[in-house]
Amino acid sequence: MPTFVQILDFIGTFAFAISGIRLASAKRFDWFGAYVVGFVTAIGGGTIRDVLLGVTPGWMTNPIYLICTGLALLWVILFGKHLIHLHNTFFIFDSIGLALFTVVGVGKSIALGYPFWVAIIMGSITGAAGGVIRDVFINEIPLIFRKEIYAMACVVGGTAYWLCDLLGMQSYACQVVGGVSVFVTRILAVKYNICLPILTGGGEEEEGKE
Amino acid sequence: MPTFVQILDFIGTFAFAISGIRLASAKRFDWFGAYVVGFVTAIGGGTIRDVLLGVTPGWMTNPIYLICTGLALLWVILFGKHLIHLHNTFFIFDSIGLALFTVVGVGKSIALGYPFWVAIIMGSITGAAGGVIRDVFINEIPLIFRKEIYAMACVVGGTAYWLCDLLGMQSYACQVVGGVSVFVTRILAVKYNICLPILTGGGEEEEGKE
Amino acid sequence: MPTFVQILDFIGTFAFAISGIRLASAKRFDWFGAYVVGFVTAIGGGTIRDVLLGVTPGWMTNPIYLICTGLALLWVILFGKHLIHLHNTFFIFDSIGLALFTVVGVGKSIALGYPFWVAIIMGSITGAAGGVIRDVFINEIPLIFRKEIYAMACVVGGTAYWLCDLLGMQSYACQVVGGVSVFVTRILAVKYNICLPILTGGGEEEEGKE
C-alpha cells in the first residue's frame, strides 16, 4: 500500500505532467512530443538536482513517473476539453507537487551532507527547474522568471525548513513546516497576485557580455 | 583498421553533424557557431545519456567526433550548394546514425546493469536528444516533437532489442534486430509520411503550471 | 585575505552576472528571474564542465558566487541607469572573467588527467557556456554563435597554454600565457571588429535531420 508521501508524490507528478502536456498541446505537439514535455516537466527538476549531487536520478529507479505521465497524457486526450473547469483543482495539485518536490530536494541534499544554503537551492531546483525546461522546449521565456512568486515559494519553504532545523525540531516536523510554507506562499501569491518587482534600467542596450 | 561498427558510427556522426551545421547555416551562424551546433547535434544525445548513467561521455575519450565534425563543416563550406541533391543520401546516413546510436545507448545501459525500460529511454535519448539541443540552440521548437516519427523509431527499436533478449537471442543478434527496426521504422515513416496524432484540446488557455 | 586569483575570480563572476542581469532586465524579468539568469551566466559554464568531468560543481562548495551575484543585482537595481557609461569597464571585466575562467577550466581538466584537447574544450565551456544558457533562458539565439570572436578566444588561450606546456614551461607560466592570450584575443577582436565568416550555402532548405 502506498504511503501518504507516495500519494502526494503521485499527485504532484501528475499535476506537473498535465501542465507540460497542456502547454505542448497549445503548440500543436504530437502525442509523443506532449508526453516528453510532460515527463520532463515532472522529473526535470529532480534530474538536474541529482546530476549536480552526483547520484542516479530517481526516475531511473522506479517506472512510476513514466506511468504517471502516461496517465496524464491519457487524461488530456480523453478529457482535454473539460480541463478548464478543473483549473483550480490543478492549481492546488500543482502547489502540492511544488511543496513536496521542494521538501524532497532539501531533505536529499541534507542527507548527502551538503550545507543548508546548497539544500535550499536544490529544493528550488527540484520544484521549479522542470518548468524551465518545459518552457525552453516550447520555445517560450520561462514563466517563473516573470510571473507571480513560484520558485521564491521554494526558497521560502527551504528557509523555513532550515530555521526549524536550527531550532532543533525533528526532521519530520521540519519537512511539514517547509512544505506547508511553500504551499501557503504559493496560494497567497496567486490569490493576491503578489509579484516581485520587474527589473528595469539595466537593459536599454543589450551589450553586456557577448 | 576500423571495424564495421566504427564505420557506421563515423557515418552517423557525420550525418548528424551535417544536419546541425546546415540548420545553423540557415540562421547565419559563423563557422565556429556552426561547428558547435554540428558537434552538439552529433554527441549531445550520448553526452546526456552518459551524464545520467554517471560515466564519462564517449567523445571525451576519443577525438574522432571532433575530427568528424570538422570534416562535416569543411564539406558544407566546400560543397554546400550541392547538398540539396544529396538529400536522400543524407537521409539514409541520418537513419543509419539514428539506428546505431539507439543500439549503442541500449547496449551501454544494459551493460551497466539498468533494467530494460531505462535502457530503451537511454537509447532514445542517444538517438534523438542531440537534435533537441540543436533546435534549442537555433531557437526553434524541437522538430522531433512535431514531425514524422523520429524518436518513436528509437522506442520501437529498443523494444525490439528487449523482445529479442527475452527470447534468449544473443547480444549481437539483439543489436542487429534493434538497429534494423529503428532504420526500417524511420524509412517507412518518412516514405509514407506517418505522423503521430497532434494533441489538441488541452491548451486553449496557457495557464497550467506557472 | 583574498589572493590575486580570488580577486580576479570575483571580478569575472561579477561581470558575467551583470551581463546576465542586464539582458534579463531588457526582457522585463522580475528580480528573482534576473538573479537566476545572472547566476547561471556566471556559474553555468563551470557547472557543465564539472558535470562532464564528474566532480562537484565549484559553486556548491563556496557561497561566494551567490553573494557576488546578489551584489551584481543590487548594483543594477541601484545604478542601472548609469551602467551604460561603464560599458568599457564592464567589457574589460568580462574579458578578465573570460580569461580566468578559461585558464581555470583548462587547469582543472589537466589536473584530473584529461588530455589537452579535452582540456581546451573544457576551458572554452567554462568561459563561454554560461552565456549560451543565458541566451537560451531569454529566448534568443546564443550571441557567441554569431558575433565577434568570443569562444574562439578561449580556444586560442587553451592552445597557448598547451604549447607552453609542450615547451616545458612551469604550470604557473602556462596559465599566465594562456590567460593573457584569451584577454588579448578578445580585446583585439572587439577593437577591430574581427568576426569569423558567416556560413552560407548549406541551409536554403531546412530538411537535414529531423
Q: What span, in angstroms and rounded, lies between the C-alpha atoms of C210 and C204? A: 15
In a domain, B180, yes or no: yes
In a domain, C182, yes or no: yes
Q: What span, in angstroms and rounded, lies between the C-alpha atoms of A86 and A22? A: 13
Residue of chain B with shortest Cα separation from A142: B210
According to the model, what pLDDT value does residue A205 have? 46
According to the model, what pLDDT value does residue A17 have? 95
C71-127 pLDDT per residue, tens = 999 999 998 777 777 778 878 888 999 999 999 999 999 999 999 999 999 999 999
Mean pLDDT of A110-124: 95
Q: Residue B202: which pLDDT band, with cuts at 50, 70 and 90?
A: low
In a domain, C171, yes or no: yes
Helix (H, G, I), strand (E, B) or coil at A136: helix
CA of C2 vs chain B CAs: smallest distance (Å): 34
In a domain, B205, yes or no: no
CB contact under 8 Å between B199 and A25, yes or no, is yes
Cα dist from A85 to A79, A81, B202, C122, whole Å: 11, 9, 12, 50
Q: Note which residues in 33-72 of chain A have CB less than 8 A from chain C.
A: 51-52, 54
CB contact under 8 Å between B202 and A25, yes or no, is yes
In a domain, A134, yes or no: yes
Task: Measure the N-to-C terminal CA separation of chain A; round to a whole number of Å.
Answer: 55
Mean pLDDT of chain C: 89
According to the model, what pLDDT value does residue A8 have? 84
In a domain, B123, yes or no: yes
A with C: how many residue pairs have Cβ under 8 Å apart?
Answer: 118
In a domain, C199, yes or no: no
CB contact under 8 Å between A196 and C32, yes or no, is yes
Give the total number of structural domains in chain A. 1
According to the model, what pLDDT value does residue B210 have? 38
Over 70: is that where the pLDDT of C152 sits? yes
Q: What percent of chain A has pLDDT over 70?
A: 94
Over 50: is that where the pLDDT of A51 sits? yes
According to the model, what pLDDT value does residue A149 have? 85
B32-71 pLDDT per residue, tens = 999 999 999 999 999 999 999 999 999 999 999 999 999 9
Q: What span, in angstroms and rounded, lies between the C-alpha atoms of A102 and A98? A: 6
Helix (H, G, I), strand (E, B) or coil at B200: coil
Of the candidates B161, B142, B152, B137, the residue with the CA atom closest to the CA atom of residue B185? B152
CB contact under 8 Å between C202 and B60, yes or no, is no
Q: What span, in angstroms and rounded, lies between the C-alpha atoms of A181 and A102? A: 10
How much is the ipTM here?
0.89
* Residue of C18, C29, C50, C86 for testing the chain A interface, max A β-carbons within 10 Å: C29
Mean pLDDT of chain B: 89
AA identity, residue C17: A
In a domain, B40, yes or no: yes
Q: CB contact, 8 Å: C113 with chain B?
A: no
What domain range includes position A99?
4-77+87-191
Looking at chain B, which subunits does it touch, using at least 3 CB pairs closer than 8 Å as the criterion? A, C
Looking at chain C, which subunits does it touch, using at least 3 CB pairs closer than 8 Å as the criterion? A, B
Q: What span, in angstroms and rounded, lies between the C-alpha atoms of C194 and C144? A: 13
